[in-house]
Structure 1
Amino acid sequence: MKKSAYTLLLLLFILCAASPGAHATSIPETLNYQLTWTGVKIGTSTLSTSSAGSSVEITSRVKSEAWSAPFYKVDDLETSKLERVGKGFALHSYKMKLREGRNDWYRAASVNRKSKRFEFVNLRSFEKSSAKLVEPAWDPVSSLFYLRQLPLTVGRSVEVNVLDKGKLNRVKVSVLRRETVQTPAGTFKTIVISPNMDIESEGLFYARGPLTIWLTDDARKVPVIIEKRISDLFREGIPGYLQQFTPESVRNNIPKMETIRAVLVGGNY
C-alpha cells in the first residue's frame, strides 16, 4: 500500500458537494466542522459565504491536525465567486490550491458567458483548456450552494452540473430519507442526500465511494454532517503505523475504517 495513495486520504474531506437564478442562503454564513476518522479528530474545516457588492464569495478551508504531518499533511483552500444574474446568482470563477500528502494541485477556472465557454488554467504549468458552458453549471464548492436552494423530496433525485478538471460532470443526487441527528452544535431534523460521485477528479471530494450529507430539514438546508467512504481504501490491509491508533474492534469494521466524518461544531448560520 502506498502511503500517499491511501493512508490519511482519511485526513480530509473537502466540504463541498452540488444556474443562473440560484438564490442566496443566509449571508454572511460561517460553518465550522470537525473531521474525524474512527472517532479520532484528524482535522478541521470551515465553509464561509460572504457578499462583496453584487457578488458572493464562498471559501472552503481544510487543515489536518499537527500530529498527522509525518503521515499525510493536508492544507486545502478553494474559493468560488458568484455573480448576480437576474434575480439570483451564477458561477463566475473558481480557484483551488490543494495540498494532500505529496499531492499538490493548483488551478483556476472562469465562466465566459459571451462565448458560452468554461475556461480552465493549470496554475503550475499554465496549460489552458476550455469546455462548452452548459448552464446551470457549478464548481465543486458552489455546487453545494446551489443544491441548498433546490426543493428536495424523499424518494426523488436531482441532478447538478459540476465543472471540474476541464470537463462537465453530471452528478445525480438521491434524496434518501429524513432523520434527526445530534451534533456538538445541537440536535437537528435533517433530510439525507447522497450524490453519486462516480467520476474522475482530484482531491478527496471526488474519491470513489459513497458520499452522504445530512442537511437541516428547513429553508436553510445547513449541512450538519458529511460522511465520505473511500471504497477499497484498505484492500491490501491496514498498515502497521495506523494499527496503533485503532483498536481491534475497529480494525475488523472495514466500512468504518474507510469512512471520514465531518460534523458541524459551530459557526454563524
Structure 2
Amino acid sequence: MKKPAYTLLLLCFSLFASGTAALASSIPETLNYQLTWSGVKIGTSTLSTTTTGSGVEITSKVKSEAWSAPFYKVDDLETSKLDREGKGFALHSYKMKLREGKNDWHRAASVNHKNNRFEFVNLKTFEKSSAKLVEPAWDPVSCLFYLRQVPLAVGKSIEVNVLDKGKLNRVKVAVLRRETVQTPAGSFRTIVVSPNMDIESEGLFYARGPLTIWLTDDAKKVPVIVEKRINDLFREGIPAYLQQFTPESVRNNIPKMETIRAVLVGGSY
C-alpha cells in the first residue's frame, strides 16, 4: 500500500511580463483549506502570500488531524521566495520540510541567474546538485502564481517549467471546463484545470496520478478545490484500521477511496 501524504500541492503562480518576470496576484493573501478523504476530515492546510521588501514569500503548511497520528501523522512546511524583476517577479529560492508517516524529506533550492543554474541541496545528507535554468521556471509551490495569472481557455493547454528534485519538469496543464461549485467558503463559478503530474517528486499532490484544480473564473483565480487521485493506493487491499472508518459503499468505490480533496473554507483573498 502506498501511504497517503495529505500535502497540498497548488500548482503554479504568475503572468509572463517579460523573460522570467511574473505579474503579482492579490497580495497579501491567506487561503485556508480542509483536507478530506472519503468524506472524513484528515487535516488542514494554509497557503499564504506576503510581501518581503521588494519580493514575495509564499508559505504552505499542512497538518493532519490528531486522530490520524497513530496511523499517519503529517506536518509539512514549504516556503518559496520570489525576487522583484522588471515589472514582475522571478524565482529566488525554495525550501521544504515534509514529515509524512515514516517519511522525512528536507531539501532546499536556489536560483543562480548569473550562471543560469538552479542549485539543489538535500538538507539531510547535504548532497548537492544543479540543473540548467530554463526560464521562466518555478518550484512546486510558486508555480501556482503562474497558473493563476495566465489566460485560460477551455479546450486549450499551457506548459509550465517546474524545477524539483534536481531536474526540470515540463508540466502540461489542460483546461477542462467551467463549473459552479459549492464550498464552505461559498459558491463559486470556476474554471477547471488538470496538470499532468507524471513527474518524480515527494508528497501526495506532487506524486504521479490525476490532479484537478478548480480556480475561480475571475481575475484572481483563487484555487477553491484541489483533488488528487493516487492510483493503486490500495493495491494490496484496504487496511483493517481504515475499514472501520469507511462504509461498504465507499470501500467498493475505488476511485473515491483513492482520492484526497482540499476544499477552501476561508481566509482573505
On whether the aligned pair clears a TM of 0.5, the verdict is yes
Report the equivalent of 2:16: none
Report the equivalent of 1:90: 90
Q: How does 1:77-226 map to 2 (within 5 A)?
A: 77-226=77-226
Q: Identity over the aligned pairs, expressed in percent?
A: 83
Report the equivalent of 2:48: 48
The letter of the residue matching 2:7 is F
The letter of the residue matching 2:223 is P
Alpha carbons 1:15, 1:47 under 8 Å: kept: no
Backbone CA RMSD of aligned residues: 0.9
Deviation string 1:56-86 (CA, Å, 9 cap, x unpaired) is 0000000000000000000000000000111
The letter of the residue matching 1:82 is L
Report the equivalent of 2:9: 15
Q: How far 1:52 moved relative to its partner? A: 1.1
Aligned counterparts of 2:114 and 2:38: Cα–Cα separation in 1: 49
The letter of the residue matching 1:77 is L
Aligned counterparts of 1:46 and 1:104: Cα–Cα separation in 2: 20
Q: Is the deviation greater in 200-209 or in 155-164?
A: 200-209
Aligned counterparts of 1:218 and 1:202: Cα–Cα separation in 2: 31
The letter of the residue matching 2:240 is G
- Structure 2 residue runs of 5 or longer lacking an equivalent are 13-18
The letter of the residue matching 1:201 is S
Report the equivalent of 2:36: 36
Aligned counterparts of 1:80 and 1:146: Cα–Cα separation in 2: 13
Structure that is richer in helix per residue: 1
Q: How does 1:220-235 map to 2 (within 5 A)?
A: 220-235=220-235
Q: How far 1:209 moved relative to its partner? A: 1.2
Alpha carbons 2:9, 2:140 under 8 Å: kept: no
Aligned counterparts of 2:49 and 2:147: Cα–Cα separation in 1: 15
Aligned counterparts of 2:35 and 2:203: Cα–Cα separation in 1: 16
Aligned counterparts of 1:105 and 1:133: Cα–Cα separation in 2: 23
Alpha carbons 1:13, 1:260 under 8 Å: kept: no
Alpha carbons 1:15, 1:45 under 8 Å: kept: no
Alpha carbons 2:10, 2:226 under 8 Å: kept: no
The DSSP-based 3-state class of the residue aligned with 2:23 is coil
The DSSP-based 3-state class of the residue aligned with 2:69 is helix
Runs of 4+ in 1 over 4 A off after TM superposition: none
Aligned counterparts of 1:202 and 1:38: Cα–Cα separation in 2: 22
- Structure 1 residue runs of 5 or longer lacking an equivalent are none
Alpha carbons 1:58, 1:141 under 8 Å: kept: yes
Matched, 1:253 2:247: no
The DSSP-based 3-state class of the residue aligned with 1:75 is strand
